Amino acid sequence: MNLYPAIDLHQGRCVRLHQGQFDQATVYGEDPVAMAVSFRSAGASHLHIVDLDGSRDGATPHAELIKRMVQASGLVVQVGGGIRSVATAAAYVAAGVSRLVVGSLAVRSPDVVLTMAKQFGPEHLVLALDVRPRTDGTDYNLAIQGWTEEAAVTPWSVLESYLAAGLRHVLCTDISRDGVLSGPNLDLYQQMLERYPSLQLLASGGVSSLADLQAIRRLPLAGAIVGKALYTGRFTLAEALQCFANA
């Protein structure tokens, strides 16, 4: 089980958004390269990077910055946000990115994602499912385009289509818990693992304490992403890594 500290990029800085709202961004660092290096110095082996501007706009404004983050830190890096073509994916792979995180593209252009899987191998792709609980509590809706739109398909149908195509790495974020330190949606992850036991599932959203990480450890997950809890001092990266040391 791997721990992924997260760096979200907006206008060249490390930020965290509240519920995905760009007008509610808190800046936690002016130098993302230095932040990535500091995570490596604290013992991290993996890093999760989100190009927030790219996710919203379908571009890659931070591509060169991300390349420098990868090269300077030496971490195993996965990147999401703004990956809309095979050429963009190839550029990130050439820059040393280990895994490409695809969300909106996987819904709107599955043929492109399947081409990526063929060209780079399914091990280098992560399917991102960003979900919101329905108001009646019966299921989840799938958000795309930087969480600004609701997809016409269900998260389950998208997941099943890619499992059939050989993809296994999935990152699932409960948007209602992201950035609010309310605890991860363990029931959602348990449900996904029970339905699809072959998943290499990454948890994201809501981690607020070491107790949350300990609860995540009890599930057969591939790893978890932590962001705001680190930046606000709920625990240190060293403490979080220790929680996962024997997982």
Q: How far apart are the first and last CA of the chain?
A: 6
Catalytic-role residue among 8, 51, 53, 178: 8
Catalytic-role residue among 51, 53, 130, 174: 130
3-state SS track over the chain: CEEEEEEEEECCEEEEEECCEEEEEEEEECCHHHHHHHHHHCCCCEEEEEEHHHHHHCCCCCHHHHHHHHHHHCCEEEEECCCCCHHHHHHHHHCCCCEEEECHHHHHCHHHHHHHHHHHCHHHEEEEEEEEECCCCCCEEEEECCCCEECCCCHHHHHHHHHHCCCCEEEEEEHHHCCCCCCCCHHHHHHHHHHCCCCEEEEECCCCCHHHHHHHHCCCCCEEEECHHHHCCCCCHHHHHHHHCCC
- How crowded is residue 100: how many other Cβ atoms within 10 Å of its Cβ? 23
- 51 as an active site residue: the answer is no
What sign does the CA torsion over 153, 155, 156, 158 have?
positive
- 212 as an active site residue: the answer is no
Q: How far apart (Å, rounded) are the C-alpha atoms in residues 198 and 39?
A: 30
- List residues with catalytic annotation: 8, 130
